A and B are shown apart, each in its own frame.
Chain A
Amino acid sequence: MIILIIIFFILIALADFPALIKYKKWYEFTVLSVFFLCAFVLAILQWRGISIPSPTKGAVFIIQDVLHLKYS
């Protein structure tokens, strides 16, 4: 599985990084590298079964426990 994840991310990297390097777009390259690394780390965590913070759980906490907005 880890091999598949690595191959998958290599393919993503090959799709965009070479063009950014070729045209010397270093700002875009830096930002994309940050997002790419985050995605890779998250994929590894997901594969290892480590819980990733859900983007909705924070919102649900604010809506239901802080603002007490709930239908049932």
Chain B
Amino acid sequence: MKKSPEQISTAQMMFSVGCFIQGSTLLTYLIHGFAKQEAWIGVLLGCLISMPIIWMYTYLAKKFPGKSLIEIHDIVLGRIAGKIFSALYIYFFLSLVFLNTRDIGDFVGGSLLQVTPTPVVLIMFLFICCWAVRKGVKTMTRYATLFVIIAFVFLLFTSSLLISNMKFSNFLPVFTLPLKNYVQSAHTVAMIPICEIVVFFMLFPNFQNAKGSGKALWGGFAIGAVTLLFNVARDTAVLGPYTPLVTFPSFLVMRIINVGTVFTRVEVLYSVILISLLFFKTAILLYAAVFGISQLLKFDSYKFLVPTFAAIAVIFALAIFDSSMEHADYAITGAAAFYTSFFELILPVITLTVAAVRGFSGKKEIVPS
């Protein structure tokens, strides 16, 4: 596959990683469900256990600068095992596209457009994702900075409007839950929003400064982690013991805002921002999947695959779960966290170990082609 002429800067990559993690704020209800009023502790623990994993990603990225996961697998594991690992990752990225598309369907269908058929929402959403992916990585990531700034300013602004509704006693009592709840919330935070950034390995061939991958991943992680923590703490302070009982706590919190008669119905703005973040996340995942397929099958371009895989994503987003309850059960029982752990922790550890055994772990560095 030819090297893409589209190059993205370290700052663009960093904001893209941050925006990608911010795109998961819809799923904070899981953390509230596991850790109740101590959800903020779950987020902090999740961030802590993600750190060695992100360190592993940066180590791999620095060892193989400018290489995608598919190329790294081919170099480290050889042609056959490398192809098997790559195929597993493509399956993983596609399944994340289906799951995130389903999330948007459930959110829009449940909270905004209740009488609109879900396929209509999904087709429109994936049409925009498909369009963005076909425009290329540079165009796609250009908007990440804007999305991150808007989401962060909106978060600060709405939090300031909610100060009168916040009760800091809602965070009490602390450290009263069984150990299992902390473990489950930390595992979910680490695996579902944060370590999904493994997908950015598919963007590294387009990375201008291959040695700045550590800065981009850590910077993006910091942006995403701060947003998650702030979101979870605000929702707990406002909703208190009701937080674990609602499906979209942030959405409900936005509905509470009523300053005079001017700042009301802010949830509409929140929904627009959330859908924009999820659009970015899904577009990156769709790109990773089709780019992975094109590298695996040695095509010159990935663009012709995008519309067909967007259509497949619509079909599987509808078929992946029979109901919203089954979707929630998938996350609550921990299946989602264990499933993602396999791709975000176990497979990279195997790759790193084989790289060490085969002598790629010394000072020798794989020079980009």
Q: Which residues of A contact B (CB under 8 A)?
A: 8-9, 12, 15-16, 19-20, 25, 27-28, 31-32, 35-36, 38-39, 42-43, 46, 51-52, 54-56, 59-60, 63-64, 67, 69-72
Is residue B125 contacting chain A, with contact meaning CB distance below 8 A?
Answer: no
B291 to chain A, nearest CB (A): 14
Interface size on B, residues (CB 8 A): 32
Distance, CA A64 to CA B300, complexed state (A): 40
Query: Mostly helix, strand, loop or mixed at chain A's interface?
Result: helix
Name the prevailing secondary structure of the B interface residues. helix
Partner of B312, one of A16, A31, A42, A54: A42
Is the CB–CB distance between B334 and A52 below 8 Å?
Answer: no
Residues of B within 8 A of A60 (CB): 330, 335, 339
With both chains docked as a complex, state the minimum distance between the C-beta of A23 and any C-beta of chain B, in angstroms: 10
**In the complex, are the beta carbons of B308 and A70 less than 8 A apart?**
no
Given contacts A55-B316, A59-B339, contact A72 B333 (CB under 8 A): yes
Tally of A-B Cβ pairs under 8 angstroms: 88
- Given contact pairs A16-B304, A16-B307, A35-B309, A70 touches B334 in the complex (Cβ within 8 A): yes
Q: Which residues of A contact B339 (CB under 8 A)?
A: 56, 59-60, 63
A28 to B320, Cβ gap below 8 A? no
B146 at the interface (CB under 8 A from A): no
CB-nearest residue of chain A to B316:
A55
Q: Which of A27, A54, A63, A67 contacts B319 (CB 8 A)?
A: A54
Chain A residues within 8 Å of B55, by CB: none
> Is B91 an interface position by the 8 A CB rule?
yes
Provide the bound-state CA to CA distance between A63 and B297, in Å.
30
How distant is the Cα of A9 from the Cα of B305 in the complex, in angstroms? 13
- Complex Cα distance, B305 from A42, in Å, reads 17
A34-B316 Cα distance, complex, nearest whole Å: 17
Find A52's partner among B297, B300, B315 (CB 8 Å cutoff).
Answer: B315
Q: Which residues of A contact B319 (CB under 8 A)?
A: 46, 51-52, 54
**How long is the Cα–Cα vector from A63 to B187 in the complex, in angstroms?**
15
Let me know if B99 and A31 touch, CB within 8 A. no
The answer, yes or no, to whether B338 is at the interface (CB within 8 Å) is: yes
With contacts A32-B304, A55-B94 taken as known, whether A46 is within 8 angstroms of B333 at the C-beta atoms is no
CA distance A43 to B338 in the complex (A): 30
Question: Knowing A35-B312, A56-B339 touch, does A46 contact B318 (C-beta < 8 A)?
Answer: yes
Task: Specify which chain A residues have a CB less than 8 angstroms from the CB of B180 in the assembled complex.
Answer: 71
- What residues of chain A lie closer than 8 Å to B305, measured between beta carbons? 32, 35
Q: How far is the CA of A7 from the CA of B364 in the complex (A)?
A: 54
Contacts of B335 in A (CB 8 A): 56, 59-60, 63-64, 70
| A8 and B311 contact, CB distance less than 8 A | yes
29 of the cross-chain contacts (CB-CB < 8 Å) are: A12-B308, A16-B303, A20-B304, A25-B300, A27-B299, A28-B304, A31-B299, A32-B308, A35-B308, A35-B309, A39-B311, A39-B312, A42-B315, A43-B315, A51-B319, A54-B321, A55-B91, A55-B94, A55-B98, A56-B98, A56-B99, A56-B339, A59-B95, A59-B335, A60-B330, A63-B338, A69-B334, A69-B338, A72-B333
B311:A12 contact, CB within 8 angstroms: yes
Bound Cα distance A11, B334 (Å): 40
CA–CA, A71 to B91, complex, Å? 25
Residues on B with C-beta less than 8 A from A27 are: 299
The answer to whether B333 touches A64, judged by C-beta atoms less than 8 angstroms apart, is yes
Q: Which residues of B contact A25 (CB under 8 A)?
A: 300
CB < 8 Å neighbour of A43 from B94, B300, B311:
B311
In the complex, given contacts A56-B339, A59-B95, A71-B333, what are 12 additional A-B residue pairs having Cβ atoms less than 8 angstroms apart? A16-B304, A16-B308, A27-B299, A28-B300, A35-B312, A42-B315, A54-B320, A55-B98, A56-B320, A60-B335, A67-B338, A70-B333
Alpha-carbon distance between A15 and B300 when the two chains are bound, in angstroms: 17
CB of A71 within 8 A of CB of B330, answer no
Interface membership of B282, Cβ < 8 A: no
